[in-house]
């Protein structure tokens, strides 16, 4: 039990650091209303969580990478807040594209990740 907690915690520390660095790097060159950083990070996270799932890793690795790292790297709450902000700014085109593409591409990326994991 304690080992599982430590594995998730260690993964989460590195996941959140990767998220902050990735977000800052993506936002440095992006000056538009569309929340590209969260879209990319969540899409990449969906693929890698699918990959972890498809690989059927040992429980400890799954907790470290899947639950800890990917759980902290991706964010559903930021996605929702950014979606609401697009609505508040009456930016309906970006809102519908962002929400539609996030769900569609997220499911697709997860599916491709699982397939890749099963092939390895």
- Give the C-alpha distances (Å, rounded to integers) separating 3 from 9, 60, 64: 10, 8, 10
Q: Look at residue 30 and tell me whether its pLDDT is greater than 90.
A: no
Contacts of 118 (CB under 8 A, 6+ apart): 54
**Which helix H or strand E contains 118, and what residues bound it?**
helix 92-119
Please give the model's pTM, rounded to 2 decimal places: 0.91
Band of pLDDT at residue 77, cut at 50, 70 and 90: very high
**What are the backbone dihedrals phi and psi of residue 37, each rounded to the nearest 5 degrees, phi first?**
-60, -50
Mean pLDDT of the chain: 96
Domain map (residue ranges) of the chain? 2-119
Q: Look at residue 29 and tell me whether its pLDDT is greater than 90.
A: no
């Amino acid at each position: 039990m304690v080992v599982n907690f430590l594995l998730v915690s260690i993964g989460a520390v590195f996941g959140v650091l990767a998220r902050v660095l990735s977000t800052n790097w993506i936002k440095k060159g992006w000056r538009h209303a569309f929340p590209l950083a969260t879209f990319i990070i969540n899409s990449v996270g969906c693929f890698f969580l699918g990959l972890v799932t498809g690989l059927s890793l040992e429980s400890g690795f799954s907790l470290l990478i899947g639950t800890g790292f990917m759980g902290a790297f991706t964010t559903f709450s930021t996605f929702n807040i950014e979606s609401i902000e697009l609505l508040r700014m009456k930016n309906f085109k970006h809102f519908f594209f962002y929400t539609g593409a996030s769900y569609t591409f997220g499911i697709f990326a997860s599916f491709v990740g699982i397939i890749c994991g099963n092939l390895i």
